[in-house]
Amino acid sequence: MKKKIKVILLENTAGLGNKGTLLEVSPAYANNSLIPKGIAKLADINTVNKIEQEEQKKITEKNKNQEKFLNLLQQNKEEALCIEKAVSPMGKLYEKIDEKVISLNIVSQYKINIPKKNIKLNKKIENIGDYEAEINFESKKYKIKIKVIGK
């Protein structure tokens, strides 16, 4: 088995990875190309441990978000996401509900951050009533129920 050394990328590099990525490469490649060009630096034990801790933290956070999202879906089967807005006497909303409003309500009601770009409505909601929105979460699409009520 050939000896490898660990380096950390200092910039995004096609074919290698993104800035901060820990790589194992041959000593010759590291010493003759990556380090002299300023693309990478040698990884010491402290840096390696820090990167591994950050990766573990990301995995833990991702698992928490998955759990929260599954909880959101379960609760949404039983009860729709309720959004309360001011309405005119004719039942029309004074302010249309878009993806941003839905995202903010998900955060306040379910304590999970779903970016507005991951929420899709057929059109902005203008009236009180029951609606559906599509959420793209980790490359899968889910439907959630939305109930708009007047204040």
| Pair 75, 142 in one domain | yes
pLDDT, one tens digit per residue, over 45-77 is 888 888 889 889 999 998 888 888 888 888 888
Quote the domain boundaries for residue 33: 5-43
Asked if residue 9 is part of any domain, the answer here is: yes
> Where would I find the H helices in the chain?
27-29, 45-78, 99-110
- Has residue 104 got a pLDDT over 90? yes
| Pair 39, 96 in one domain | no
- Has residue 103 got a pLDDT over 70? yes
Quick one: pLDDT at residue 1? 60
| Pair 106, 145 in one domain | yes
Asked if residue 56 is part of any domain, the answer here is: no
Quick one: pLDDT at residue 130? 93
| Tally of structural domains, the chain | 2
Residue 132 near residue 88, CB atoms below 8 Å: no
CATH number reported for the structural domain that contains residue 19 in this entry? 3.40.5.10
Quick one: pLDDT at residue 31? 92
Asked if residue 51 is part of any domain, the answer here is: no
| Pair 39, 69 in one domain | no
Separation of alpha carbons 144 and 119, rounded Å: 10
Quick one: pLDDT at residue 151? 83
Asked if residue 78 is part of any domain, the answer here is: yes
| Pair 83, 143 in one domain | yes
Separation of alpha carbons 37 and 133, rounded Å: 49
- Has residue 137 got a pLDDT over 70? yes
Q: What is the mean pLDDT of the chain?
A: 90
143 falls in which pLDDT band (50, 70, 90)?
Answer: very high
Please report where in the chains the tokens 């507005």 appear, as a residue. 116
Asked if residue 57 is part of any domain, the answer here is: no
Quick one: pLDDT at residue 98? 94
The predicted model scores a pTM of 0.66
- Has residue 2 got a pLDDT over 80? no
Asked if residue 88 is part of any domain, the answer here is: yes
CA atoms within 13 A on the CB side of 73: 13
Asked if residue 20 is part of any domain, the answer here is: yes
Percent of the chain with pLDDT over 90: 55
CATH number reported for the structural domain that contains residue 89 in this entry? 3.10.430.100
Residue 85 near residue 150, CB atoms below 8 Å: yes
Asked if residue 13 is part of any domain, the answer here is: yes
Separation of alpha carbons 129 and 58, rounded Å: 38
